[in-house]
Amino acid sequence: MLTNKSILITGGTGSFGRAFVKTLLERWPHLRRLVVYSRDELKQFEMQQAFPAQRYPGLRWFIGDVRDEARLTRALEGIDVVVHAAALKQVPAAEYNPFECIKTNVLGAQNVIEGCLSAGVQNVVALSTDKAAAPVNLYGATKLCSDKLFVAANNIKGSRDVRFSVVRYGNVMGSRGSVIPFFLERRKSGVLPITDPRMTRFNISLQQGVEMVLWAIENALGGEVFVPKIPSYRITDLATAVGPDCRQEVVGIRPGEKIHEEMITASDSFNTVDLGRYYAVLPVGGNYDVDEYCRLRGAKPVAPGFAYDSGSNPEFLSVTKLRELIEHLGTGVQA
């Protein structure tokens, strides 16, 4: 699929970027070029120690921001596939600095699109978030705008051979800034803060996210928002798995936070299909309708009114399973 291809990943020094680069280099050692594009020179330096030039001559390191259209356009020269992972993601920071979030997540997304169209890129996959479904905070709203931009980019490609698609999933298990590292740190105090005991979240591993993006690169027709079928967990069960002897203290839900993660709303059900491993939310008024897409991909339409959220999800992880997964992360929690 990617042999002799040139690939660029924006935000390539983040948790996803590192895992994505590692997987690509293991499976496709003969990539023509793999460009890591990010604005943090320290993270690039640290990442270069893990991927030395002598062993990986196809790796390139571009300092740049997706806000900088000229720099991005230069980096995209000769690129076949783009994975757009760069974003400002912290909900409180976005609420306090709203236009900075807009500059990166919305204007930066459009810069990626324009650069890909100009450079002749063939395949573009953008990473989204559950918070883009019925957003209640600015971060989610900017990612919804980004999703819409990438889906609509298929309408302006003209005769270019390019596909734009989106991959949407929730917080990655154990990633920086997520609840597991937070609980692991706070368990030393003997008290774990619970925003709301009813709260649930989807669970996806970093590698599952990587595999989904690779699947989208190979299978997207263009315009889809792909959503994985993954299990949920209760926040109280996660707290028990991390600190079984800790007291759980309810502190109240934070501004911009949902009780349950949503990835597909009931309003999306009329243009959502079931692909087996994944759902796909199809573009309204795109180049194909639901019936045609189902014929092309062997998919099935979901029932009208279908919604996919972590609270009504039929599959939940037990405390035992959560402990096993956390131990697999190498966090020091014993199962």
Active site residues: 131
Residue type, 188: K
Rounded to whole angstroms, the Cα distance separating 201 from 203 reads 6
Residue corresponding to tokens 């243009």: 271
DSSP strand pairing (262-264 vs 308-309): antiparallel
Between CA 28 and CA 291 the distance in angstroms is 35
Q: What angle do CA 200, 261, 184 make, to 5 degrees?
A: 50
Report the distance separating Cα 260 and Cα 202, nearest Å. Answer: 9
First to last CA, the chain: 38
- For residue 29, what are the contacts with CB-CB under 8 A and spacing of at least 6? none
What one-letter code names the amino acid at 263? M
